[in-house]
A and B are shown apart, each in its own frame.
Chain A
Amino acid sequence: MILDSLTVTNDAFRDSTGWAIKPQGACKAEMCVPLGGLGGDEFDVTPIAERLGMAIVHDEARGLWALGPDSVGQVLKSAEAPDLTLPEWKGGEFKLSSLRGQKVFVLAWASW
């Protein structure tokens, strides 16, 4: 998550990280991490990132930060597939969840 400010909205944080800020804490799949009241519609991401083990890298010269993924447990918090949305070759964006009802084989490849 690239940031030009350490103040983020609840929605943007959830959409980028998959962690939803709820009364019981930050939650992803079946996991919740208590935040002791941190959060809100808009908040300083720093203390929440610390609770979740999310690295914050600052490129001071360019006034940018990048928020890394959490350090909790495994990369997959549950077997529920993340809803990947990416540009498609034929145009537009494609949501992985649109294939619900079929078996799906996802193959990551690269030109390099």
Chain B
Amino acid sequence: MEFVTVGLDLNGWDSAGPWVERAQPTHPSLVDEAHLMDELFGVVNVPSGIWIDEEGMIVRPPETAYPGKVTQLEVWAENPPVTDPDPYLLAQAEETMKIQVRPKKYYYALRDWVANGRESKHWLPPDEVVDRSRPAGPDVSEAAAHFELGQHLHKAGEPDAAVEHFRAAHRLQPENWTYKRQAWSLADPDQKPTDVYETDWLSDIKKYGPESYYAPLDM
């Protein structure tokens, strides 16, 4: 099996690069500035995993592939360790730990498929792959168009114009956390409250509940 990582980062390698450098991957490591993974596969949050077989057929559409680690806590533990973390970031880390994920189940399911292919109980037939992918729809389409325009304008040096399009994308597809998290990060790297957007990461998690963040794993 080959890993392919795709960094959904509007600022491309400027944002994703330091993390890739840190990881020193031996697999293909790609960057997706326009969040094409959302339009093409139906990704709405990260990390999301997609399984593709030897014939190029998807056998599991995007699902939460959370590794079970809170990266911020790892960074704080590095030398010299942080002893007095930012209160907002600490609250973020605490809320992150409330989000229900099943990293071990996902990990062993993936290994089972790698070993057993179509015989794996986690292999899905094509019709079910399609059914389990996210529904298309006019609001989803309009949200994607707004996000793409926002991305285009931001990179063209018009961040204020981009914000209007990002806001529209958030309104049209509120369940798409990549649109929200990406936009918030441009206003503030830690996605703290700003006067650019009405809400922020911590506010939305508390408002909608950690259970809204990732769809429950159905495997």
Residues of chain A at the chain B interface (Cβ within 8 Å): 1-2, 18, 53-57, 59, 61-62, 64, 66-82, 84, 86-90, 94, 96-97, 99-112
Complex-state Cα separation, A112 to B191, whole angstroms: 8
Which chain A residue shows the least CB distance to B133?
A: A76
Which chain B residue shows the least CB distance to A75?
A: B42
From A1, A82, A107, contact of B65 by CB (8 A):
A107
Complex-state Cα separation, A47 to B25, whole angstroms: 45
From A76, A107, A108, contact of B58 by CB (8 A):
A76
Q: With A74-B135, A100-B55, A103-B113 known to touch, is A112 a contact of B15 (CB < 8 Å)? A: yes
Q: Is B80 an interface residue (CB 8 A)?
A: no
Complex-state Cα separation, A88 to B28, whole angstroms: 7
CB distance from B121 to the nearest CB of A (A): 16
Complex-state Cα separation, A60 to B118, whole angstroms: 51
For chain B, give the interface size range: 35 or more
B165 close to A59 (CB less than 8 A): yes
Complex-state Cα separation, A75 to B43, whole angstroms: 10
Complex-state Cα separation, A74 to B140, whole angstroms: 11
Task: Give the residues in chain B near A1, CB-CB below 8 Å.
Answer: 148
- Within B152-196, the residues touching A (CB, 8 Å) are 152-153, 158, 161, 165, 168, 178, 181-182, 184-185, 189, 191
Which chain A residue shows the least CB distance to B52?
A: A104
From A66, A74, A99, A107, contact of B47 by CB (8 A):
A107
Complex-state Cα separation, A56 to B148, whole angstroms: 11
Complex-state Cα separation, A64 to B155, whole angstroms: 14
Known: A68-B145, A74-B136, A82-B40; 17 extra A-B contacts, CB below 8 A, are: A62-B161, A72-B136, A75-B40, A82-B41, A84-B36, A88-B30, A89-B20, A96-B52, A103-B114, A105-B51, A106-B5, A107-B4, A107-B65, A108-B50, A108-B62, A109-B47, A112-B9
